[in-house]
Amino acid sequence: MKILFFYLFVSLTIARSCQDELLQLRDQGFSEILIQKSRECLKQNPESASLNRLRGLILMEANQPLAAASAFRRTQDLDPDLEDAWIYELVAYLYAQDPLKRHRQSIQRIKKQFSKRPEILAEAGNILIQAKEMSTAFEYFKSLLDENYPEPWIYHFKLGQMYYLVKTWDDALQQLVLAQKLNPESSLVYHWLGKVWEAKGNMEYAQAFYKDAQNMGYTEPNENHKHPR
């Protein structure tokens, strides 16, 4: 038992030392030395989730997204609670424009792992939207509703937002009204209802919803990136 504890202590010490060195090199700017050093660090401590995660980030910066995705997947296996590793893997596959469409598998794993975490589920959908994977994003948010994931108003809101982005005003309005019914306290939903009515040319309704949103404490967020509140 003492030998095991000693081994764990030494491994953790090596991992921290390597990680500190990698972070210092990374602060100095990307270089081939950084990739080589990250490989050497993992050889010394392959079971370190944080080192695998850091190597994934380094590989992304080196424009090697598929290799980065593998590092993030390994991170998930070692420590499923490192939430951003799941999102980073999705980003890597999308950035790589992976012909095998492995971002779909990544999405399914996120749904399973974070079935009780609507903020992470919504963030995964946001990533799809930012990558202009609109058909996959529509399919994804609809599946969250069909499969009764928690906080359904969020997914109605996201669908409404997406329909607005593709200028399908009536569908956008329908989804936002459903979101409003499920969560009448969300100022963001009221604001987007105002945006849809404005797009439809009804400024009277638009101004009313904008005013309601402000009265409810609405502040201007980065709407394409933030989780609705």
Q: Cβ distance 51 to 42 under 8 Å?
A: yes
Half-sphere exposure of 15 (CA within 13 A, CB side): 17
Specify the pLDDT at position 70.
Answer: 97
Q: How many residues does the chain have?
A: 229
Residue with tokens 């009221």: 190
Among 60, 55, 102, residue whose Cα is nearest residue 74: 55
pTM: 0.82
CB atoms within 10 A of CB 151: 18
List of E strands, 42-135: none
Burial 172-189 (b: 16+ CB within 10 A, else e): bbbbbebbbebbeebbbb
* pLDDT tens-place string over residues 188-206: 999 999 999 999 999 999 9
* pLDDT tens-place string over residues 139-174: 999 999 999 999 999 999 999 999 999 999 999 999
Residues in the chain where the model's pLDDT stays below 50: 1-14, 223-229
Residue with tokens 């329909």: 163
DSSP reduced 3-state for 168? coil
> Residue 24 burial by CB count (10 A; 0-12/13-18/19+): exposed, middle or buried?
exposed
How far is residue 73's CA from residue 67's CA, in Å, rounded to a whole number?
10
